[in-house]
Amino acid sequence: MNVLVLNCGSSSLKFQLINAENEELIAKGLCERIGIEGSQLVYSPTGGEKVTTVVPMPDHTAAVKLVLDSLCDKEVGVVKSLEEINAVGHRIVHGGEKFAASTILTDEVIKGIEECNDLAPLHNPANLIGINACKELMPGVPMVGVFDTAFHQTMPKEAYLYGIPYEYYSKYKVRRYGFHGTSHSYVSQQAARLLGKSYEDSKIIVCHLGNGASVSAVKNGKCVDTSMGLTPLEGLIMGTRSGDLDPAIIEFIAKKENKTIEQIMNMLNKESGVLGISGGLSSDFRDLEEAHAKGDDAGTRTLEAFCYRVAKYIGSYMVALNGVDGICFTAGVGENSGLVRSMICEKLAFTGITLDKEANGKRGEDIIISSNAEGPKVMVIPTNEELMIARDTYALVK
Ligand code: AMP
């Protein structure tokens, strides 16, 4: 069964066509600048040449149509007709408390996703546009929604309640939800396998360190805590998001700088994080590492603050799990930056963790990078959210 995995953003669309039986990637690509001048489709069939086409895409329906045309194209296509695309798996950002697992997209489920729009006003509407575009272009093809928040729905109340009046939870469902759930689920499962442990009897901490970053504590296959909150703004210091801060800072800066709440929120989402701490140097860790290597304090202080926050979360999640078997690094920074991993693990020396320098220098494979015989193991596990979406879709429609 071939599953088309779609990840629709407000002006972009990422896709992969995956053979769900043997889990092979058939083709992948990206539509950028949808609804904006200069839109383009990048299409890569496995084993073939990458094709970039600059073509107008006024809306997501046009983008999905171009993707389907490419997949079925006589020259560069990978399937003969749309009939060979048997199901679509959609990444949905926010499922609120309604969706604790992936689910077939019926009209009722789609309505439920619409009801979560309030919780993710930038993301869910874009996801819904992608769903509607597929409904129009591929009528009758089963579709599945895979939610970023679902994996975290097993968190206990003590982990998801905020210290604010309970009525805001009762009335508006203000609570911790957590994101990157598909990644945390995939990586924690792979970690148990790599450790030779049963997933149902394991204590794993997953550090998803990319442009967005979050940590989760997974006990016996179930998430018990995670660092992102009602929105992805909470927790670690990220590329451009602040992560945890004293809420009083919002009023303080608003008064000093004569700014509105919207302006402050924009600053916390887009101008903060490592970009902000580095004084605007970069949100990309490659630039920060280069600056650090040259002795530039902007690079050094930023990496130190980022790694300290990650280590602090790992420490607190050891409490949440009452111990830990494995700590995993994944996503852009987690998979690629040996320096960041070693700076974080240095702060965990009290647990007995020591890194194997050679293993920490490797890339692109599931690998244990710690050398200590006793105590927690440290791993790098490349994430694969698309494969996880294809797996869930296959399981529900086969
Ligand atoms: P993601 O959001 O998972 O795609 O991660 C993107 C981020 O990964 C980039 O913004 C970089 O900061 C980081 N990154 C990618 N490659 C490297 C690398 N080789 N070394 C350090 N950081 C990297």
pLDDT in tens, 82-131: 999 999 999 999 999 999 999 999 999 999 999 999 898 888 999 999 99
Residues 327 and 265 in one domain: yes
pLDDT confidence of 328, banded at 50, 70, 90? very high
Residues 102 and 211 in one domain: no
Q: Strand 103-104 vs strand 143-147: parallel, antiparallel, or unpaired?
A: antiparallel
C-alpha of residue 210 to centroid of ligand 1, in Å: 6
Q: How far apart are CA 333 and CA 335, in angstroms?
A: 6
How many CA atoms lie less than 13 Å away from 365 in the CB half-sphere? 8
| Structural domain that includes position 122 | 2-147
pLDDT value for 128: 94
Give a yes or no: residue 13 inside a domain: yes
- Mutate-to-test residue for ligand 1 from 237, 286, 363, 386, highest number of ligand atoms within 8 A of CB: 286
Q: How far apart are CA 386 and CA 19, in angstroms?
A: 12
Surface-to-core class of residue 251, CB atoms within 10 Å of its CB (0-12 exposed, 13-18 middle, 19+ buried)? exposed
pLDDT confidence of 10, banded at 50, 70, 90? confident
211 Cβ inside 6 Å of ligand 1: yes
User: Which residues are annotated as catalytic?
Assistant: 148
- Sheet hosting strand 326-330, strand order edge to edge: 222-226, 213-219, 203-209, 326-330, 377-380, 367-368
Give a yes or no: residue 170 inside a domain: no
Looking at 147, 164, 184, the residue that finishes a domain is 147
Give a yes or no: residue 162 inside a domain: no
99 Cβ inside 6 Å of ligand 1: no
Residues 134 and 264 in one domain: no
C-alpha of residue 336 to centroid of ligand 1, in Å: 7
Residues in the chain: 398
Answer for the pair 133, 204: CB distance below 8 angstroms, yes or no: no
pTM: 0.95
For ligand 1, atom 4, name the residue with the nearest CA: 332
pLDDT higher than threshold 90 for residue 321: yes
For ligand 1, atom 15, name the residue with the nearest CA: 332
